[in-house]
Amino acid sequence: MGQRKLLTNSLSLLVNRLVQSITSFVLVASIARTLGPYDLGRYLLAFSYYYIFMVIGSQGLKTLFTRELSRNPQEMPAYLVSGTFLQMLISIIAYVVQIVVVFVLPYNSDTSTTCYIMGLTIIPFSLSNITEAIFQAQERMNLISISTVPVYIVRLLIMLWFLHLNYGVNYLAVILALSETLVFVIEWILVTRVVKPKWEIKRDFVWHLFKSAWTFMLIDAVGIVSSRMAILIISLLGSELMVGLYGVIGQLMLPFSLVTDSVVMAAFPAMTKAVTLGKEKLRSITENIIEMLLCISLPLIVVIFFLGNDLITFVYKNPDFSQVNLVLKVSCLSLITYPFVRTFVYLLLANGFENFNLIEVISTNIVGLLSGVVLISEYKLMGAAFMQLAMGFTGFSLLIYAVYSQLFSLRLWRVIPRPLAISFGMILVFMILEKFRLNFIFILVISTCSYAFFATCLAMHKFGGVHSMWLKLFSRRSEKI
C-alpha cells in the first residue's frame, strides 16, 4: 500500500472513529450533567458488558477475514454469506451468555435491565463487522465512513432529545440497538454492490472458519476483558456511582484510543502484504506508525497534566467529578506504552504469530486481576489507575520481547525524537501560559494551534522540507499521468 493510499484509508477510518468518539463523548457528558454519576455508571457498565461480549463474538472473525481476504480476494462471495451465517450464530450465543452472566452477578434490577437491553446491540454490530472486514480487505475504508457517520450523528441528536425530555438510560440503550441495525442494513446494501454473494452456506467452510478463528476470538476475549477489567472490578467491589466517576477518565482517553486503533487497523493490510516484501519494509511501516502515534500520545499527557482539572470541570460541570483529577493524571501515563502495544499486536497478527498475542493478553489479565482486587479494594479509584499501569507495562514488555526475538528490533533513534520535541514544545507553551490568567477556552485554542504548528514543522523536517514534499507529490502525479 502506498503512503497516499494508507493516508486515505487511515483518514476514512479516522473520520469514522472520531465521529464515534465525539458522539460518545458528548453523550456521556450529557448523561453526567443531566442524570448524574449513578445513572452514568449504569450506562457505562451496561455498555461495558455489551462491548465485551460483542468483541468476543465478532472481532476475532473480523481480524481473520481481513487477513485472509487481503491474501485471497476471490473468496469474498463465500466469506460474505457463510461468514455472516457463522457470525449470526456466534453473536446470538454471545448475547445469551451475557444475559446469564449479568443475571448471576449481584446487580440491582435497574442495572440488569439496562444491560439486557443494550446487549441486543451485539447482534447487528457483530454482523456489520463482517461487511467492514470486506471493505478493509478491499482497502475501501471510505465505505465504512459513508455507512456509519451519518447514523452516529443522527443517533446522538435523538439521544440528546430524549435526555432533554427526561427519559432514562434504558431508552438510550434501545436507540443504540436500533441505530446499529440500521448501520448493518446500509453496509450490506453497499457490500452487495461490490461483491456478488454466493447464496450457499457451506458447512465445511463454516466449520473451517470457526476453527481458524478460535485463536483470534480467544485473544480478543482476554484482551477486551483486560481493557474493561477495572470497571468490572469497581462495579463488584464498589458501586455504580464509582463506575460513573471512573468512567469519565475512560471517556477523556477515548479519542486517543480510537485514533490509535484507526491508524493500526488501516495499516494492517499493508503489514500483511509487507510480510512477503522483507523485514526491512515491515520495520519501516511499523516505525512510522509508532512515531505517528507517539506524536499524539506524549503531547496528550502534557495536556492532561496541565489542564486535566479544568477539562473535567468544563466538560462535566458537576463537582462530584472533580475528585478524579489525580486519578486521571496517573492513568494517562499508560499512553506512553499504548502506541507500541497496539502496533505490535497487529504486527504479530500479520506475521502469523497470534500465539504470542494470546500469551500476552492472558498474562496481562492475570496481572490485572490480581493487582486490581488488591489495589481497588485498598485504594478505590486510584487503585484502578495503578492497575492500568501495571497491565500496560506487562503487555508492553511481553510484546516487545516477541517482536525483537521473532522479527526485528526498532530503531528508536528514528521513532522517539520528533514526539519528544513536540512534547517539550507543548511544555514550554503551557509554562508560558501559566504566567497569564487566561480563559480555559483561550488556553485550549492556543495550545491546539501550538501543537499543530510543532507537528507541521517536524513533519516537513522529516520529509526534507516544503520543497522536497512538493517534488515528491509532483513526481507521483506525473507517474499517474
Q: Which of 329, 251, 346, 248 is nearest to 293 (CA)?
A: 346
Instruction: Please state, in angstroms and as integers, the Cα–Cα distance from residue 316 to each residue in 159, 381, 444, following that order.
Output: 17, 18, 16
Q: Vertex 289, ends 286 and 291: CA angle to 5°? A: 105
Per the structure, the complete domain to which residue 341 belongs is given by 3-480
Non-local CB neighbours of 37 within 8 Å, separated by 6+ positions: 241, 244, 245, 318, 320, 321
What distance in Å separates the CA atoms of residue 38 and residue 239, rounded to the nearest whole number? 8
The DSSP call for residue 200 is -
453-458 contacts, C-beta under 8 A, 24 or more apart: 454/421, 454/422, 454/425, 454/426, 455/295, 455/422, 458/295, 458/418, 458/421, 458/422
Cell 467452510 sits at which residue? 205
Instruction: Domain count for the chain, please give it.
Output: 1
pLDDT-flagged residues of the chain (< 70)? 1-10, 13-14, 223, 462-481
Q: How far apart are CA 273 and CA 266, in angstroms?
A: 13
At residue 237, the 3 state secondary structure works out as helix
Which of 119, 118, 21, 30 shows the shortest CA–CA distance to 315? 30
- The pLDDT value given to residue 156: 95
Q: Which amino acid is present at 74?
A: Q
Q: Are 374 and 324 in contact (CB under 8 A)?
A: no
Contact partners, residue 210, CB within 8 Å, separation at least 6: 86
What pLDDT is recorded for position 141? 74
Packing angle, helices 76-104 and 122-137, rounded to 10: 150
- Reported pTM: 0.71
Place of cell 440528546: 160
The pLDDT, as a whole number, for residue 472 is 47
Question: Which pLDDT value is given to residue 58?
Answer: 81
Query: Tell me, what DSSP letter sits at residue 139?
Result: T
- In this structure, is the dihedral angle defined by the CA atoms of residues 348, 351, 356 and 361, taken in order, positive or negative? positive
Cell (9 digits) for 252: 477523556
Predicted confidence at residue 82, as pLDDT, reads 81
Between CA 91 and CA 359 the distance in angstroms is: 25
- Grid cell in block for residue 2: 502506498
Instruction: Give the pLDDT of residue 437.
Output: 78
Q: Give the N- to C-terminal CA distance of the chain in Å, as an integer.
A: 19
Whole-number pLDDT of residue 462:
67
